[in-house]
Structure 1
Amino acid sequence: MNGKSVVLIDDSEDYTTLLKSKLKREGFTVKVFHQSEEAFQFVLRNHSEIDLIIIDLMMPKLSGLEFLSTLKDHKEKPKFKICVLSGKNDLLEIEAAFKLGASEYFLKSENIDVLAEKIYEFMEIVNHPSPDQSKEFISLLEITNVIHDFQLVKYDENNVTFYSREELPIHSTIQINSEKLKKYKKTAKPINCIVDNCEILDEKVLITCQYLD
């Protein structure tokens, strides 16, 4: 555990589920809010115990910029760091967020693993958990992302279904290095597939793929 406390504010339940799950595995404690007004009251009450706030700029009612503006007007200067999430690379909006106290921004399109690494760098955490070195893995070829803890559900001559700890983009190309699947396909090489469907179930993600080989 790295002992860092994160407040995550975003109205997208799917996104917060994925990011919270990733950060918890990396040792953070995470409090999620889907309403920025509720989050603001929590921050005022618990500001001394918070290390990082991550807030989406596009929030209903109280937007991310309005949240930061109201927070800046508060008498007590916070000690925590603030990152903003943006679905688009709007430089004017990001610049406005920086002027209101944010010191980093992340694009929501960024891969979750990459985002976690940026958070470690931003928080100046030197020692963080090393990745699982399991021989079985899934590699997302387009962005060289590797997933170690996956679980095969079923497979046949056309498709393979598995649980993953992360969402994979539809139509993305992956390689599955599974001894069980390689034995079934009678090959010693990882299996090339294309993602057909991605369904979020609680803290798991159910992926269905079609073989390319």
Structure 2
Amino acid sequence: MTPAPPLVMLLEDDPDTSSLYQNVLRREGLRVVRFDTGHKASNWLAEPENRPDLMIIDVRLPDGSGVEICRRICQAADRAPGAPVLMLSAHTDPRLPELCKQAGAREFLDKLVDLDQFRRTVHQLLSAGERAEFLA
């Protein structure tokens, strides 16, 4: 039996940006579940059967800080084991990459980066995780 493609949780509040990233990820053969608020994503993650292989989180969300959501997710004992977090932001605060990594994110990308860099980073994070067999 062929394993299911890796599951990516995408937390992005801007509909156009969210659709763009979702389409890119699906073209890469990945399954995507997307949310526009931290509250919705946190509720989904609270269910034991929902275990993404990668989480992509925007820094600025309508209901709070993506950095704080990342911190809570990464500190939760029951979070998806080995599921890396990729943080995204269009804001140019030079402190953001370090703040995101301190919160538990593996990588930080500026949303203005080209989509090839986004795809490479997604594949790099997935190949380092437990679902590397899908990408082989």
TM-score of the two chains, using structure 1 as the length reference: 0.54
1:92 to 87, 92, 95: 95
Alpha carbons 2:9, 2:32 under 8 Å: kept: yes
Name the CA distance, whole Å, in 1 between partners of 2:26 and 2:124. Answer: 17
Count of matched residue pairs: 128
Gaps of 5+ in 2: none
Partner of 1:31, secondary structure, is strand
Q: Which residue of 1 aligns with 2:109?
A: 106
Cα distance, 1:89 vs structure 2? 3.9
**Which has the bigger relative contact order, CA under 8 A and spacing at least 6?**
2
Q: Which residue of 1 aligns with 2:30?
A: 28
Name the CA distance, whole Å, in 1 between partners of 2:90 and 2:49. Answer: 27
Change (3 A) 1:77 1:26: closer
Q: Which residue of 2 aligns with 1:122?
A: 125
Alpha carbons 2:45, 2:79 under 8 Å: kept: no
Gaps of 5+ in 1: 129-213
Change (3 A) 1:62 1:27: same
Alpha carbons 1:68, 1:101 under 8 Å: kept: yes
Please state if 1:18 is matched with 2:23.
Answer: no
Cα distance, 1:73 vs structure 2? 4.2
Partner of 1:84, secondary structure, is strand
Q: Which residue of 2 aligns with 1:61?
A: 63
Cα distance, 1:49 vs structure 2? 2.6
Change (3 A) 1:70 1:23: same
Name the CA distance, whole Å, in 2 between partners of 1:65 and 1:47. Answer: 24
Cα distance, 1:61 vs structure 2? 1.7
Cα distance, 1:59 vs structure 2? 0.8
Percent identity, aligned pairs only, is 23
Alpha carbons 2:52, 2:80 under 8 Å: kept: no
Name the CA distance, whole Å, in 2 between partners of 1:73 and 1:120. Answer: 24
Cα distance, 1:67 vs structure 2? 0.7
Alpha carbons 2:70, 2:104 under 8 Å: kept: yes
Change (3 A) 1:48 1:14: closer
Instruction: Give the letter for the 2:101 counterpart.
Output: F
Change (3 A) 1:48 1:13: closer
Name the CA distance, whole Å, in 2 between partners of 1:85 and 1:2. Answer: 26
Q: Which of these two proteins has the greater Rg computed from alpha carbons?
A: 1
Cα distance, 1:110 vs structure 2? 1.3
Q: Which residue of 2 aligns with 1:136?
A: none
Q: Provide the alpha-carbon RMSD of the alignment.
A: 2.3
Cα distance, 1:47 vs structure 2? 6.5
